[in-house]
Structure 1
């Protein structure tokens, strides 16, 4: 990039961060998840509002310059890696051993019902979605998108309500971890199918490669890397070196994921998941206090503002499609997880609270939709509907959960 392009690139970053801070602060004052404010900021800054009412200003801030667009895309992809590493750190399956039946029933029902509804509604009405080829893969994607939850957003809501250590909080968090782990595996499988086509490799081969890579990364991280780090004074006496080493592992796992044919984000997520189990408390504190804040306060705001910049709600908003996706997502997750928690031994009001808590899609849903858009599996119309669903389900969970647990 030349000096003028660098200047425009840095102005974009500054404006995106400023908008993310402003609208994030407003959401915080309204006791809502900050990520909602960041998405709203992107919508205001993007083609929906600024591009429609002040096209000259929008064109000046976001010029159609290949070098700038490429540079911003690279920065956002790096940010996504660190965000997914931070999300992986939230996965802790210790609670599963404490309430196996409750977690198993909640995870299974809360994952299977929305997945089945999403899959079936695509297969029964393919023309409604505008899908002719790759219908089966698109149906798998919609099932995955509706079954997954937003672990970081749910954790933030429960922390704000001081419920993270309660029975309901642990059930919601652990069930979300289990469901999301299977969801990410299925999504990684889908991305490999999209990247390599249907002819060269069969479904079984692809699934074996995805699961095999998962086992390899988790095994190396848990049984080789972590013991070395826990017993090395180099990492204990040099926090900066520890963070550099973790960043190196994230990049290597991302490269390996791309080589296998999976999206790089999945490798970063697996590294975070490996680090969440059996890590030295002091090193874990260092990683959490330095990598997570930077990932969640610099990279994440940029990424979620960029989501608003991608979506054009003024021209791509399909009310019927948005209403259908929102209704099916809420019905499948709340009813499925609620019944699972009830079968697992909870009272009806507690079970309903678990279902409502797991209904928050938030950041994770938007990441799935963004990557699916990048791979041309969905169009702008479906992308806008999924972003709106993620926004509304997160808002609904935050408001209703507070009412249920008064």
Structure 2
């Protein structure tokens, strides 16, 4: 008979209890709920009390949380907002600079070439789930800087996965321009084609459904269909070699502007799901980290890696944004907004460990670096950029 401690009911109750504790802690320290959830995860996870571990069940719920979160974030954006040429320039430089930084710092600490290449690849990643959620919390999701962060982060995600796909070949000394081209074509093809199908096909289908007698009889029917589309897009993104959260985001963008008269509001329903599962996602990031695996040497490397991870994104994304005509504050907001590596780099690290490309020490350093960059950005946002008035001159004049 299944014990109470391992039952789904108990684990779900425990995770939601931890999420609530995260909100209480965040209110105490006047920080984002994201920070509170991660810190609570650290407290109860292997790093401190060891009361809960990163099980398959936790991983599955966290994955659902990331997908639903980006689906909801997508409602705030138009597809044109994430396809600007300037975002492409910022994204490319924002991948190259961190890769060079990660590669150089790893070699400097005496690790082998394979580890250096992989750490560089891990540093190219960006977790838009973290930054987007913080911007949503503080009501800044509609700013030009927020739109740039989302657009650039999606491009970064594509380029990071391209880098990951060729890392093994690069370590082995063999690399093919054809394979790189195929990965890029699939990635951008999915974003463009998936976005077009969503905007001109799925969104219109949903409006027709809403006008049908079926929707009038069952107002929840359209909402269920919309969530099905979100997970389908996430699945197809995975099949194309992209992160599932990018697919969910594109699905959310496709629903932007859809008007419903007879059906339950899709955005409102998705936001309720996000409250539950995204909270678990943020708690899981704290649970995943394990400070007990640190050695003195790895600790020093971790500090250096974290500093390099932040500086290379701030410089690699902030300077190009400034060169594109954005104000100094917006440029810094974009740079720091791209700094969280979050679950993306953690997944990359796990792949590297499974493939034998990195050792346990490098794995722990990447995971904890991801966690630290995830914590630092919301603190910087709340206590620096958005503590007072935001770009007052920009709001008054309408200029960037």
Taking structure 2 as the reference length, what is the TM-score of the superposition? 0.78
Residue 154 of structure 2 is aligned to residue 181 of structure 1: yes
1:87 maps to what in 2? 73
Pairing partner for 1:379 from 360, 363, 372: 363
* Change beyond 3 A, Cα 1:220–1:179: same
Pairing partner for 2:291 from 313, 338, 342: 313
1:54 maps to what in 2? none
2:187 maps to what in 1? 210
1:13 maps to what in 2? 12
| Contact 1:84 1:272 (C-alpha < 8 Å) held by counterparts | yes
1:242 maps to what in 2? 222
| Contact 1:150 1:360 (C-alpha < 8 Å) held by counterparts | yes
CA deviations on 1:106-134 (whole Å, 9 max, x unpaired) are: x4675455433311123334433845437
Question: Aligned runs of 1:332-351 on 2, under 5 Å?
Answer: 332-335=312-315, 339-340=319-320, 342-345=322-325, 351=328
* Change beyond 3 A, Cα 1:27–1:357: farther
CA deviations on 1:23-80 (whole Å, 9 max, x unpaired) are: 22221354321011000010000111102xxxxxx3xx55x9xxxx334433333333
Deviation (angstroms), 1:256:
2.5
Residue 62 of structure 2 is aligned to residue 76 of structure 1: yes
* Change beyond 3 A, Cα 1:44–1:190: same
1:224 maps to what in 2? 201
Q: Relative to structure 2, which stretch is displaced further, 247-256 or 387-396? A: 247-256
Residue 346 of structure 2 is aligned to residue 370 of structure 1: yes
Question: Aligned runs of 1:2-401 on 2, under 5 Å?
Answer: 2-4=1-3, 7-51=6-50, 58=51, 69-92=55-78, 104=86, 107=87, 111=91, 114-127=94-107, 128=109, 130=111, 132-133=113-114, 136=117, 138-145=119-126, 150-157=131-138, 159=139, 170-190=143-163, 202-232=179-209, 233-234=211-212, 237=216, 238-276=218-256, 278-280=257-259, 286-295=265-274, 297-316=275-294, 318-335=298-315, 339-340=319-320, 342-345=322-325, 351-352=328-329, 354-356=331-333, 358-360=335-337, 365-376=341-352, 379-401=363-385
Unaligned runs of 5+ in 1: 52-57
Deviation (angstroms), 1:182:
0.6
| Contact 2:38 2:283 (C-alpha < 8 Å) held by counterparts | yes
Q: Distance in 2 between matches of 1:146 and 1:246?
A: 24
Taking structure 1 as the reference length, what is the TM-score of the superposition? 0.77
RMSD: 3.7
| Contact 1:253 1:267 (C-alpha < 8 Å) held by counterparts | yes
Deviation (angstroms), 1:258:
3.6
CA deviations on 1:320-379 (whole Å, 9 max, x unpaired) are: 334334433443444565555554556xxx5235513651358x6312123223323661
* Change beyond 3 A, Cα 1:259–1:302: same
Deviation (angstroms), 1:390:
1.5
| Contact 1:316 1:384 (C-alpha < 8 Å) held by counterparts | no
Deviation (angstroms), 1:193:
5.2
* Change beyond 3 A, Cα 1:215–1:229: same
Deviation (angstroms), 1:403:
4.7
* Change beyond 3 A, Cα 1:332–1:258: closer
| Contact 1:333 1:358 (C-alpha < 8 Å) held by counterparts | yes
| Contact 1:191 1:263 (C-alpha < 8 Å) held by counterparts | no
Unaligned runs of 5+ in 2: 354-361, 391-400
* Change beyond 3 A, Cα 1:38–1:76: same
